[in-house]
Chains A and B, each alone.
Chain A
């Protein structure tokens, strides 16, 4: 097969996506079981995913199990593979994916769903789980989007819910110790974190990594070729977030908060830099400025590596975090702030507990620190949004420019980005529908007209892909037929605007007697059975409902880190908030 693959690589774009052989990849020809890990998007997106690096390391720690990787081939490669009869192959050994014992596919975003089917088809694995036999691997989904398994349920043998470090070990035990697909599925049925759609709609719990020890933070991560979207070392300093933003799926799905001690973070970061050769280290989490030991960690890293490019993504909008970012990375010229909403009313609705003073303070601190490019992220189409909120975004662009002119040192630019709100399962907004496409389009048009262009750049997310994301995020199981129909009509790489084929999706939904817009704007009643109700995230439905009502009352809920327990239910599980005090 190698010669045929090499011949095909001569004619496709970016053949480095398919060759493997990167530094720190693991080859285990002596292994008796093969687990193939798939990110259903292009190599440069998938290789940057930290969760898959953790899983790759976790599986490869088992002496007799090999983890190998595969990504979704770009259409030119997929066409060539079909033409030449080459099945989907892993990067490490160029073995056929269908030879695996288990194929794990991470679902990080709804817009990769059509690629899941593309991967299965290229691998020669029947799309529907019911059509698979003992010859085929067990196909397991994981990742945050698996929290609503319904729209992909017929395509997977199993869904693993939550964090892999603890609960996935039992899945690997089953693969290693039990022979045969049917017997393995029987074993998986005993796992409380695994949902087997073929065995009826049963309850499944989210696995939570209770220890959150540093030993599971990989240090010998695979170093991608230059085309990856993120080429940097990263250490997860904290998992979970207590901010309680009502739109945020990760904010509820990864509770409770667990922090790592600063000295372990520093050691892991230094080791990873040495093993990878990166010149940048990222301290990742959902809100790194909330990490208790953020300052000592930064100081120690800078002491050991003064010229290192240190990045702190996802920070609270305030002067303190901006100063932290500036101190951490003197080489960076751009900074990103995410106020999400431009008025206090809307920030109370979405529970983003920051004030205008904090936002303006952060902007001023950024320009004072010498940043020359300021990016601000907002959302539009949020529940109960009025014209004032949309105007507020325009006003913030102008205000940021004024502050930049007043305190900035020379040339600068302001970049205002607005994404379209998409309600997600397991959040307080899970009952809300998306705003109608026409309304969103009108808001886009208004912002384009009203936003000045001098020193301000406005970007608006593609409405078409946002609507599809909305249609899939809270979809019922019947939507699986639409996913398959869209894929058969050519849908692939839907997150890539140049690849997105809206007509294929429109026809697919129409064949079910519905539409993308009808599904995206669907509102659920508080007594309705939700498609994902069998998935227990750890947060109580009562808490989510209460938060939804609080949003209607335009009241923000305090952060339990400082303002007392909000009784969300996360700390009733195997671990409570674990902070470094």
Chain B
């Protein structure tokens, strides 16, 4: 049976990587007394998938993990038992039976809040950002060639409230912008350098399942 676990990541736990989060979730489930189903094949692995990797340093209010557990359990019980075994910084938001395709294959977009210092004229920056045709950032990585990303291609919306920017990033064929890149590129539209105090993923939006027809 597949369960969809929605969980929050806060505080120091935000510094765990995607794979570390997966392992943390597996060991917490085992401590809670659940047996995790293994994949078929010569090297069986636990069947678990997080919907979309969270960048190191980004907090989250709603991470999604699909995991196959042996046996049939009440989702509320899974949530309760798991909550007692999660390390500091992780909180269970809810558990449901997962029906249909896994969340990881249905991610449409991800919503974020960036808490920012208001030493940038954000309204003017947003105006300049929206007026521009492109919003390019250069992504640098050690031992790799620089890569230019057009943030506007994946940023579906961005809005400013005092002390924060709210935005939504859509998955595109060419990838997805990073949340800090959105903040940087908006500020850069008026030549400013932003101060990001906190990045929080608020929601992972899934595409709705196609409705099946019984024949």
Contacts and interface: CB of A to CB of B under 8 A. Distances in A.
Nearest to B12: A19
B20 A279 contact: no
A16 B22 CA distance: 14
Given A277-B85, A333-B42, A21 B23 contact: no
A467 B24 CA distance: 39
A453 interface: no
A22 B27 CA distance: 11
Interface string A1-44: 00000100110001110111111000000000000000000000
Q: Which of B15, B24, B42 has the most CB of A within 10 A?
A: B15
A23 B87 contact: yes
A522 B44 CA distance: 50
Interface stretch (B28-36, B104-112, B151-159): B28-36
Contact of A226 (B24, B28, B88): B24
A379 interface: no
A331 B43 CA distance: 7
B56 interface: yes
Contacts of B89: 21
Nearest to B17: A16
Interface in A264-279: 273-279
Nearest to B13: A21
Nearest to B42: A333
Given A231-B23, A276-B27, A278-B30, A16 B43 contact: no
Interface in B69-88: 85, 87-88
Contacts of A277: 26-31, 85
B99 interface: no
Contacts of A10: 57
Contacts of B20: 16, 225-227
Contact of B27 (A14, A16, A23): A23
Nearest to A279: B30
Contacts of A223: 27
B19 interface: yes
Interface residues of A, number: 27
Nearest to B43: A333
Interface residues on B, range: 20 to 34
Interface string B1-23: 00000000000110111011011
A226 B50 CA distance: 15
Nearest to B142: A13
B200 to A, nearest CB: 14
Contact of B12 (A14, A20, A227, A279): A20
Q: Which of A19, A227, A273 has the most CB of B within 10 A?
A: A19
Contacts of B44: 331
A278 to B, nearest CB: 7
Contacts of B88: 21
Nearest to A6: B12
Nearest to A2: B12
B57 A15 contact: yes
Contacts of B16: 16, 19, 225
A273 B57 CA distance: 30
A5 to B, nearest CB: 9
Contacts of B43: 331, 333
Interface string A323-355: 000000001010000000000000000000000
A55 to B, nearest CB: 22
Nearest to A21: B88
Nearest to B25: A277
B15 A19 contact: yes
B61 to A, nearest CB: 19
Nearest to B46: A279
Contacts of B56: 15-16
Given A6-B12, A21-B13, A226 B31 contact: no
Interface in B30-55: 30-31, 35, 42-44, 46
A21 B42 CA distance: 35
B123 to A, nearest CB: 27
Contacts of A15: 15, 56-57
Nearest to B70: A307
Given A277-B85, A278-B30, A331-B44, A225 B24 contact: yes
Contacts of A279: 26, 30, 46
A226 B12 contact: no
Contacts of A22: 87
A9 B85 CA distance: 25
Contact of B17 (A14, A23, A331): A14
Contacts of A16: 15-17, 20, 56
Q: Which of B12, B16, B85 has the most CB of A within 10 A?
A: B12
A400 B23 CA distance: 36
B190 to A, nearest CB: 24
Nearest to B26: A277
A371 B98 CA distance: 37
B168 to A, nearest CB: 23
Interface in A300-315: 307
Q: Which of B29, B46, B56 has the most CB of A within 10 A?
A: B56
A498 to B, nearest CB: 12
A273 B17 CA distance: 24
Contacts of A14: 17
Interface string B92-106: 000000000000000
Interface string A218-238: 000001011100010000000
B98 to A, nearest CB: 21
Contacts of A274: 31
A223 B27 CA distance: 9
Contacts of A21: 12-13, 87-89
Nearest to A17: B15
Nearest to A223: B27
Interface in B198-213: none
Interface string A269-300: 00001111111000000000000000000000
A227 B56 CA distance: 14
Nearest to A11: B57
A22 B44 CA distance: 26
Nearest to B31: A277
Nearest to B34: A277
A284 to B, nearest CB: 20
B42 to A, nearest CB: 7
Interface string A47-72: 00000000000000000000000000
Given A226-B19, A279-B46, 5 more contacts: A9-B15, A16-B16, A23-B85, A226-B22, A231-B23
19 contacts: A9-B57, A10-B57, A15-B15, A16-B15, A16-B16, A16-B56, A20-B12, A21-B87, A21-B88, A227-B20, A231-B23, A275-B31, A276-B27, A276-B31, A277-B28, A277-B29, A278-B30, A331-B44, A333-B43
Interface of B: 12-13, 15-17, 19-20, 22-24, 26-31, 35, 42-44, 46, 56-57, 85, 87-89
Interface of A: 6, 9-10, 14-16, 18-23, 223, 225-227, 231, 273-279, 307, 331, 333
List the 8 shortest-distance A-B pairs measured between CB atoms, nearest first.
Answer: A277-B27, A226-B23, A277-B30, A277-B31, A15-B15, A21-B88, A19-B12, A226-B20
